[in-house]
A = this chain, B = another copy of it.
């Protein structure tokens, strides 16, 4: 159920976030492709967060969270447990403010991710690859450093930051019929829905999720948070469960979740690479796959698609497996 004590972001919170972060982030381009449009049967505009710093929208929320810290809080740094784009984003955003970022990573995280976080200046502490070890290690480092924990998505400031991608999109294309974004933990989709619905409730906002990790779809239908249990999908940015804050925000603002097959994700990803010549990660292909699979909802509509990131292991592409 919705926790009414939670503070759900308003579109004005996202406008304020934008004023704070806009000089620190890339204003990413919005791309359109006539060949993609003719395949999808609608008019699409891709908000290309693959061109964001660290290659993903996560830099918006991380930057906003860090800029909101008071000087004495900031001095102790920030901490998170993550092995993905949030860890890289937090490391770089902390470096920009000149404060430490403590990153707890499972010791079996891919070398490429360790390298990325270290490259952005994150101070990594490795732990056993269990949720318990992650949290214990984090509490230990947090006690030692007094660093502020920045959750990857269960955070008002993070969600407000992620919503600024939609703010930029609507600045350029205010007359969209639909906006669609991928959903994992729900930070991006919550920011998207809160902003879009606040600015123009006539625009539909959909989430897109792999069928093989459809916890958000089921959670919003049954109005209770289902945990994501060991999901098997190539969309490796969408493995996590909704949190109390993202769940409540989506219940209030999101028009529904569309689920897609793994084969559609791979097809959509390859199509975007081939037709648009941009590198998107599998998670970013999920909304494109949703338009392919649920064409009737989009026919001839004007659709904004949030491309969440472009961090891909070029040695392991999904169509080669």
Pick from B270, B278, B314, B315: contact of A278, CB below 8 A: B278
Measured CA separation A29–B280 after assembly (Å): 18
Q: A284-321 toward B: CB 8 Å interface, digit per residue (1/0)?
A: 00000000000000000000000000100011010110
The total of chain A residues at the interface (CB under 8 A) is: 19
**With A278-B277, A279-B278: A320-B315 Cβ-Cβ less than 8 Å:** yes
Identify A277's interface contact among B50, B315, B319, B320, CB under 8 A. Answer: B50
- Greatest chain B CB density within 10 A among A31, A274, A280, A317 is at A274
Q: Does A163 contact B (CB under 8 A)?
A: no
Which of B31, B274, B279, B319 touches A273 (beta carbons < 8 Å)?
A: B279
Complex contact B277–A55 (CB within 8 A): yes
User: Which of B51, B273, B276, B280 is within 8 Å of A314, CB to CB?
Assistant: B273
A-B contact pairs, 23 of them (CB 8 A): A29-B29, A31-B51, A50-B277, A51-B276, A51-B277, A55-B277, A270-B314, A273-B279, A273-B314, A274-B314, A277-B278, A277-B279, A277-B280, A277-B310, A278-B278, A278-B279, A279-B279, A314-B317, A314-B319, A315-B319, A315-B320, A317-B317, A320-B320
If A270-B314, A317-B317 are given as contacts, then 10 extra A-B residue pairs at C-beta distance below 8 Å, sorted by A number, are A31-B51, A50-B277, A55-B277, A277-B278, A277-B280, A277-B310, A314-B317, A315-B319, A315-B320, A320-B320
Chain A contacts to B: CB under 8 angstroms: 29, 31, 50-51, 55, 270, 273-274, 276-280, 310, 314-315, 317, 319-320
